[in-house]
């Protein structure tokens, strides 16, 4: 079974992001970039499927500018077999990424596509679902457990207030939630091996997709600063404030 | 010649930094102080899985066959998290020493070092106390110009306290009747090479420690407010840390140059290492001093993490040759008859 995994280049989750002075975007100057954590979980799951003898090949794909190849190399170091970079400039919205991934799916014909449920930069949570719609493949989103059984894929989904188990016909799409697995660290020997693995580069035109934009980023603002706390005189004052100011008790 | 680090070396550094920063938290370090051995076998196993225990082991023995230049950036990262495990000694000092000793001993232990099944520790008499003797599967010990290869049971050790609660120092007594494995001129040459590697490891860790203290201080001074402003915005505070940053930047090149000299077994390695250790430890010492200043009274407290890094920096400054000893090494070269002085000779 061939597994395709999408990886996105985002600001490292440890970095405290800042808006540019003019509010036009997030400031990415000298900021450490990394694989989106949910995509890292997707890579880990695909590699585990391969180690379990379920998957035969794991392909990591990323869409974006040339530096995305760093994240593909990281996925290769984590255990993916080969990489595909769809080179596209500028801000690319989820629908376009989904269309480009559909082009890759048509070329590679994977039985399973695993994506992160969302990226920590855009927080859109759209690409996996859009890819499902475009390819007409069944989708199991917010997966916390997956199991391949013959031609079926059982997915345990994290839904509001509990878990839901669904069974999908393969080929299928899965988007990963936080608890699906705990990704490994790339070992030094695997980092060295990753350099020798195949990495193909496509343009959107190669996949028959025109990169268009329907969304304009208007403004980026940091969250409001938290106000300093106060010291209350007694319990009665605390209860009064919780009731009348914070309105958290009645 | 291009002396910049290769893409692979920088990738290794990134990868190891991610691992160490996520796994070796100050909370985990503090928990380690309370355990019997102060060391964590599970963590050592993770090092092995990442290839770190075998990084300097030759490929024919199952390692990656890398050298001091490849490891120096990783040693910096070990310093950044104040790693208590003896990885730097194992990979940078003991494994190359074992290779130099060679023979059946190396053939037996190098594969075990690569897989992480054996922790190899090297110690010279100059250090007085042996760090991590209690967890050494093989202790390569130099005493009075003789080298001993000791497994647990072939030596006894008595613990001594250290300023750094993470360090486990032991006074080691070799079992009577144990025969040395190397003596004479060769033993002295091995000791000199060992001292160079040990001091290089300290220097590289000192760079990481200095950087960590800067980062902690920058974070603290950006959050701590006085007169309605973050204290980091005041020049008097800023300059303290800027001075450390400058000292640290100037110390990096000598350390990297020393790593190259050690890897190449260059004739000037001892001088390069002495200069590197002096500069890196001075940077770390200044980082400790100024970080305490900008932290104010909080800097002295147990609950603030600063002391973890500060104490390690102080301890490293006095191991594998203290400042006085390394200054003597530099002086010996400068004052030698017919010494070539100046750029490219004394100051490299």
Residue B166's nearest CA partner among B213, B209, B131 is B131
Is the Cβ of B331 closer than 8 Å to some Cβ of chain A? Answer: no
Q: Chain B: give the shortest CA distance to residue A20, in Å.
A: 19
In this predicted structure, the answer to whether residue A62 has a pLDDT above a threshold of 80 is: yes
B200-231 pLDDT tens trace: 999 999 999 999 999 999 999 998 988 889 99
Q: Chain A: give the shortest CA distance to residue B54, in Å.
A: 10
pLDDT band at A16 (very low <50, low <70, confident <90, very high): confident
Rounded to whole angstroms, how far apart are CA atoms B63 and B214? 35
Set of chain B residues whose Cβ sits within 8 Å of the Cβ of A77: 15
Alpha helices in B134-268 (DSSP H): 184-223, 235-263
Is the Cβ of B73 closer than 8 Å to some Cβ of chain A? Answer: no
Cβ atoms of residues A142 and A158 within 8 Å: yes
Q: Chain B: give the shortest CA distance to residue A135, in Å.
A: 36
Non-local (6+) Cβ contacts of B239 within 8 A are: none
Residue B8 to residue A77, Cβ atoms within 8 A: no
Q: Chain B: give the shortest CA distance to residue A192, in Å.
A: 7
Residue A188 to residue B64, Cβ atoms within 8 A: yes
Please report the pLDDT score of residue B338 as a whole number: 82
If you measure CA to CA, which chain A residue comes closest to B59?
A189
Instruction: Return the CATH class of domain A2-225.
Output: alpha beta
Average pLDDT, chain A: 93
Looking at per-residue pLDDT, the higher value among A157 and B267 belongs to A157
Set of chain A residues whose Cβ sits within 8 Å of the Cβ of B115: none
Set of chain A residues whose Cβ sits within 8 Å of the Cβ of B19: 185
B150-170 pLDDT tens trace: 999 999 999 999 999 999 999
pLDDT band at B348 (very low <50, low <70, confident <90, very high): low
Residue A189 to residue B55, Cβ atoms within 8 A: no
Q: Chain A: give the shortest CA distance to residue B232, in Å.
A: 17
A191-250 pLDDT tens trace: 999 999 999 999 999 999 999 888 899 999 988 877 778 899 999 999 999 999 888 887
Q: Where are the domains of chain A?
A: 2-225
Residue B8 to residue A189, Cβ atoms within 8 A: no
> What are the structure tokens assigned to B134, written together?
């209690």
Please report the pLDDT score of residue B346 as a whole number: 64
Rounded to whole angstroms, how far apart are CA atoms B231 and A190? 45
Q: How far is CA A85 from CA A68, A204, A227, B106, in A?
A: 7, 10, 45, 45
In this predicted structure, the answer to whether residue B29 has a pLDDT above a threshold of 70 is: yes
Strands (E), chain A: 2-6, 9-11, 33-35, 57-64, 82-87, 112-116, 139-149, 152-159, 162-169, 172-176, 199-202
Please report the pLDDT score of residue B347 as a whole number: 61
What's the rounded mean pLDDT across residues B103-121?
A: 97
pLDDT band at A91 (very low <50, low <70, confident <90, very high): confident
If you measure CA to CA, which chain A residue comes closest to B51?
A188
Cβ atoms of residues A153 and A113 within 8 Å: no
Cβ atoms of residues B40 and B85 within 8 Å: yes
Is the Cβ of B15 closer than 8 Å to some Cβ of chain A? Answer: yes
Percent of chain B with pLDDT strictly greater than 70? 99
Q: Chain B: give the shortest CA distance to residue A226, in Å.
A: 13
What's the rounded mean pLDDT across residues B27-32?
A: 96
| Check: complex ipTM more than 0.85 | no
Rounded to whole angstroms, how far apart are CA atoms B12 and B132? 26
The CB-side HSE value for B169 (13 A sphere, CA atoms) comes to 13
Residue B51 to residue A14, Cβ atoms within 8 A: no
If you measure CA to CA, which chain A residue comes closest to B219?
A16
Rounded to whole angstroms, how far apart are CA atoms B148 and B122? 10
> What are the structure tokens assigned to B174, written together?
């070799």
Residue B11 to residue A191, Cβ atoms within 8 A: yes
Please report the pLDDT score of residue A250 as a whole number: 79
Looking at per-residue pLDDT, the higher value among A213 and B48 belongs to B48
Please report the pLDDT score of residue B266 as a whole number: 84
DSSP string, B17-60: HHHHHHHS-HHHHHHHHTSSSS--HHHHHHHHHHT-TTTTS-GG
Q: Chain A: give the shortest CA distance to residue B248, in Å.
A: 20
**What pairs with residue B226 in β-bridges?**
B229
Q: How many CB pairs under 8 A join A and B?
A: 30
Please name the member of B21, B46, B50 whose beta carbon is closest to the beta carbon of A188: B50
Indicate which of B9, B15, B59, B73 best probes the interface with A, i.e. most A CBs within 10 Å of its own CB: B15
First-to-last C-alpha distance (Å) of chain B: 15
In this predicted structure, the answer to whether residue B343 has a pLDDT above a threshold of 90 is: no
Inter-axis angle of helices A37-51 and A68-78, to 10 degrees?
A: 30
Please report the pLDDT score of residue A184 as a whole number: 93
Set of chain A residues whose Cβ sits within 8 Å of the Cβ of B51: 187-189
Please name the member of B11, B18, B64 whose beta carbon is closest to the beta carbon of A185: B18
Is the Cβ of B18 closer than 8 Å to some Cβ of chain A? Answer: yes
Domains of chain B (ranges plus CATH)?
186-334 (1.20.140.10)
């Amino acid at each position: 079974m061939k597994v395709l995994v999408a990886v996105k280049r985002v600001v490292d989750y440890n970095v405290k992001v800042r808006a540019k002075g003019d509010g036009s975007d997030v400031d990415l100057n000298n900021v450490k970039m990394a694989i989106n954590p949910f995509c890292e979980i997707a890579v880990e799951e695909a590699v585990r499927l391969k180690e379990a003898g379920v998957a035969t090949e794991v392909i990591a794909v990323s869409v974006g500018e040339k530096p995305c190849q760093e994240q593909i190399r990281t996925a290769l170091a984590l255990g993916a077999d080969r990489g595909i970079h769809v080179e596209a400039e500028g801000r690319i919205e989820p629908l376009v990424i989904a269309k480009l991934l559909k082009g890759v799916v048509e070329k590679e014909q994977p039985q399973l596509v695993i994506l992160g449920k969302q990226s920590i930069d855009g927080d859109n949570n759209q690409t996996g679902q859009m890819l499902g719609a475009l390819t007409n493949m069944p989708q199991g989103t917010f997966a916390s457990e997956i199991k391949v059984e013959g031609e079926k894929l059982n997915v345990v989904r994290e839904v509001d207030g509990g878990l839901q188990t669904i069974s999908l016909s393969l080929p299928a799409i899965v988007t990963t939630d936080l608890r699906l697995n705990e990704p490994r660290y790339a070992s030094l020997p695997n980092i060295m091996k990753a350099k020798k693995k195949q990495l193909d580069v496509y343009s959107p035109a190669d996949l028959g997709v025109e990169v268009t934009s329907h969304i304009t980023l208007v403004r980026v603002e940091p969250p409001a600063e938290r106000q300093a706390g106060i010291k209350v005189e007694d319990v009665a004052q605390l209860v009064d404030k919780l009731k009348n100011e914070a309105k958290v008790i009645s | 010649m291009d002396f910049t680090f290769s893409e692979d070396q920088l990738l290794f550094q990134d990868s190891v930094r991610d691992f160490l920063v996520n796994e070796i938290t100050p909370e985990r370090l503090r928990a380690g102080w309370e355990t019997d051995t102060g060391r964590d076998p599970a963590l050592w196993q993770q090092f092995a899985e990442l290839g770190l225990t075998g990084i300097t082991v030759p490929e024919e023995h199952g390692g990656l066959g890398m050298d001091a230049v490849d490891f120096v950036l990783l040693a910096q990262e070990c310093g950044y998290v104040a790693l208590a495990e003896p990885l730097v000694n194992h990979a940078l000092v003991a494994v190359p020493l074992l290779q130099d000793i060679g023979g059946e001993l190396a053939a037996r232990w190098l594969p075990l070092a690569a897989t992480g099944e054996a922790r190899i520790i090297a110690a010279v008499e100059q250090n007085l106390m042996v760090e991590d003797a209690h967890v050494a599967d093989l202790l390569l010990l130099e005493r009075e110009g003789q080298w001993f290869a000791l497994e647990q049971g072939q030596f006894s050790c008595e613990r001594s306290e250290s300023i750094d609660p993470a360090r486990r120092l032991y006074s080691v007594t070799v079992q009577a009747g144990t025969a040395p494995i190397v003596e004479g001129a060769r033993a002295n040459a091995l000791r000199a090479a060992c001292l160079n590697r040990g001091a290089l490891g300290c220097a590289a860790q000192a760079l990481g420690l200095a950087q960590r203290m800067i980062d902690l201080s920058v974070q603290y001074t950006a959050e701590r407010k006085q007169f309605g402003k973050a204290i980091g915005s005041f020049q008097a505070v800023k300059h303290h840390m800027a001075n450390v940053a400058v000292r640290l930047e100037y110390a990096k090149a000598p350390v990297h140059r020393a790593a190259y000299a050690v890897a190449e077994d260059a004739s000037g390695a001892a001088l390069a290492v002495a200069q590197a250790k002096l500069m890196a430890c001075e940077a770390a010492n200044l980082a400790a001093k100024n970080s305490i200043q900008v932290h104010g009274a909080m800097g002295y407290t147990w609950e603030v993490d600063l002391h973890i890094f500060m104490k390690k920096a102080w301890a490293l400054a006095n191991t594998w040759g203290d400042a006085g000893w390394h200054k003597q090494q530099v002086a010996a070269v400068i004052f030698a008859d017919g010494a070539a002085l100046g750029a490219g000779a004394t100051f490299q």
